[in-house]
Amino acid sequence: MDYREFFSRFKHLSSKQGIGGRIKVHPEDFIVWEEPLPSIFEGRKYAIFLLKKRNWETMAVIKEIAKRAGIDYREIGFAGTKDRHAVTYQYISVPARAKEKVEAVDIKDVELSFVSYGRFIKLGHLLGNRFRIIVRDVAENAFEMTREIFGELHATGGFPNYFGYQRFGERRVVNHIVGKLLLTGDFEGAARLFLGAYDGSMAGDEARRNFWESGDVEKALEEFPRFLRYERTLLHRYKTTGSWKRAFLSLPLPVMRIFIHAYQSYLFNLYLSRRIEEGLPLNEPLVGDVVVQVKGGIPYRDRTYRVTETNLEFVRRKIAENRAMISGPVFGFAMRRARGVPGRLEEEILEGEGISLEVFKRLPKPLSEPGGRRELLLRPTGLAYGYIPGVGMCFRFFLPKGTYATAVLREIMKDH
């Protein structure tokens, strides 16, 4: 199952026909500019560089820069990962002592420009991202179709804020299933899926298929390509411990979190889709909803309050003024739960999955997930679009951190 088939289970908010088309035909069709927090430029311990990359994964290029500059890759800070099949601009921090070495680094399709001194950049140290995206091979009347879709979504309050396919895997759409198996304690099942799932078009698929059919760890260690380093780490660790749980816990924490976060994202997408399917509004508060505060167009997900009969009109005004947004659940053991009809829907999602919030506490503490809330709607700012003859539609917009341009495009293109 590829990501298009996977995403077809999540409902569109717009009922209008999509423009179709293709994205990322060329890296230059998908350009991303990071908007950092101003505070990253405070201090003198680190040198801040603007990193421009083309067709590079963020972690891969960070490690390559570190290798060539002779520093540990963990000394390089960045605020978020960016698309591989794209041209992206983002800020990185390196120790001030390494400034000259980093300036001398020469990597194909990578440019590094010193900006200023500042602090170590951590994940989340950004306001959001600006995008310029070209969609090729669109319908002939794509401009008019886009205008109609935007008109419909303006009336419903914005775009559905789905987690994008990047969370789940573009071809091996299994991250969320591995996450659920880990949370429910089925480490052997998680290992079988992580190591053995294949789609038939990726390097290493034959080795994966052989493991799926035989479960032979020794043979897998002989056959798995070297570039599947996390898979090989898992196999080696199982060989020495005989425990799939210990093997998984030997993986780097960020890798383990990918699986847990993918499952949380899947549950959120299910909730959002069910809400659309049942005709429950996304921009009109219901008693029992939990709303997040919004300031300057940026949602503050740690600032929430519940809608009651008493404050219902107050919340309506706040939402109309774009100072609050209705949220959905990012399930976790300390999540603020909705009540009323929204709360019933949350319960049904958990019951349908056969889990409780307690499962998010079962893993070792660094992996336990408190959960939280996430706004149901996505409101791009600075949105502009136009038709380029012989090319397709061009879109420009800004999105706050933690949201996905592909969620915006999905509603316009209706390609999955």
DSSP 39-63: GGG--SSEEEEEEEEES--HHHHHH
Judge if 247 and 228 occupy the same domain. Answer: yes
Bridge partners (DSSP) of residue 386 are: 394
Instruction: Count how many Cα atoms sit within 13 Å of the Cα of residue 116 in the half-sphere of its side chain.
Output: 8
Number of domains, the chain:
4
Rounded CA separation 320/326 (Å): 11
Percent with pLDDT over 70 in the chain: 100
User: Do residues 308 and 234 share a domain?
Assistant: no
- CA–CA distance, 51 with 87 (Å, rounded to integer): 10
**Residues 47, 69 within the same domain:** yes
* Residues 153 and 104 grouped into a single domain: no
- Do 140 and 394 meet the contact criterion of CB atoms below 8 Å apart? no
Mean pLDDT of 42-60: 95
pLDDT of residue 360: 92
pLDDT of residue 73: 92
Count of CB atoms within 10 A of residue 387's CB? 17
Is the same domain home to 208 and 236?
yes
Predicted confidence (pLDDT) at residue 226 exceeds the cutoff of 80: yes
Note the pLDDT of residue 81. Answer: 87
Rounded alpha-carbon distances, angstroms, from residue 278 to 254, 281, 289, 300, 413? 36, 9, 15, 27, 23
Q: Are residues 361 and 403 in the same domain?
A: no
Task: Tell me the per-residue pLDDT of 162-203, one tens digit each, with 9 for 90 and over.
Answer: 999 888 887 789 999 999 999 999 999 999 999 999 887 788
Residue in the block written with tokens 């573009």: 170
Q: Which one of 2, 29, 72, 83 is the catalytic residue?
A: 83
Based on the fold, state whether residues 63 and 87 are members of the same structural domain: yes
Can you give the CATH number for the domain in which 95 is found? 3.30.70.3160
Say how far apart CA 17 and CA 8 lie, in whole Å: 15
Higher per-residue pLDDT: 366 or 204:
204
CB 388 within 8 A of CB 143: no
| pLDDT given for residue 235 in this prediction | 97
Reading the block at residue 154, the tokens are: 């303006």
pLDDT digits (tens, 9 = 90+) for 111-126: 999 999 999 999 899 9
Q: Which domain-ending residue is among 251, 273, 292? A: 251
**Mind listing the pLDDT tens digit for each residue in 315-362?**
999 999 999 999 999 999 999 999 999 999 999 999 999 999 999 988
**247 inside domain:** yes
- Residue finishing a domain among 202, 230, 251: 251
Q: Provide the pLDDT confidence category of residue 375 given band limits of 50, 70 and 90.
A: very high
Of 229, 251, 273, the position where a domain reaches its end is 251
Residue 273 belongs to a domain: no
106 is an active site residue: no
Each residue's pLDDT tens digit, 229-240: 899 999 999 999
- Residue 105 located in a structural domain: yes
Total-model pTM: 0.93
The per-residue pLDDT of the chain, averaged, comes to 94
Of 156, 197, 133, nearest in space to 396 by CA: 133
What pLDDT was estimated at residue 1? 66
pLDDT at 211 > cutoff 70? yes
pLDDT, greater one: 60 or 329: 329
Q: Is residue 331 part of a domain?
A: yes
Q: Find the CATH number of the domain harbouring 362.
A: 3.30.2350.20
User: pLDDT-derived band of residue 5, with 50, 70 and 90 as boundaries?
Assistant: confident
Q: What is the pLDDT of residues 71-114, one digit of tens each?
A: 999 999 999 989 889 999 999 999 999 999 999 999 999 999 99
pLDDT at position 4, please? Answer: 77
- C-alpha–C-alpha distance, residues 341 and 285, integer Å: 11
Same domain, 291 and 369: yes
Q: Percentage of the chain with pLDDT > 90?
A: 85
Q: Are residues 13 and 157 in the same domain?
A: yes
Residue 99 sits in which domain range?
A: 27-128
Tokens matching residue 60 = 């891969």
Closest among 350, 188, 190 to 255, alpha carbons compared:
190
344 contact partners, CB below 8 Å, separation of at least 6: none
pLDDT at 370: 93
CA atoms within 13 A on the CB side of 191: 27
State the Cα–Cα distance between residues 373 and 383, nearest whole angstrom. Answer: 25
In a domain, 166, yes or no: no
Alpha carbon of residue 70 to chain centroid: 31
Residue 167 DSSP class: G
User: In the prediction, which pLDDT does 271 show?
Assistant: 98
Are residues 84 and 218 both part of a single domain? no
What is the rounded distance in angstroms from the CA atom of residue 343 to the CA atom of residue 366? 28
Is 277 a domain residue?
no
Q: Where residue 210 sits, what CATH number does that domain have? A: 1.10.1510.30
Q: Looking at residues 42-67, what average pLDDT do you find?
A: 95
pLDDT at site 281: 95
- Domain-located, residue 256: no
- Look at residue 229 in the predicted model and tell me its pLDDT: 87
Is 231 domain-assigned? yes
Give the length of the chain. Answer: 416
- Note whether 151 and 12 are same-domain residues: yes
Q: Are residues 120 and 146 in the same domain?
A: no
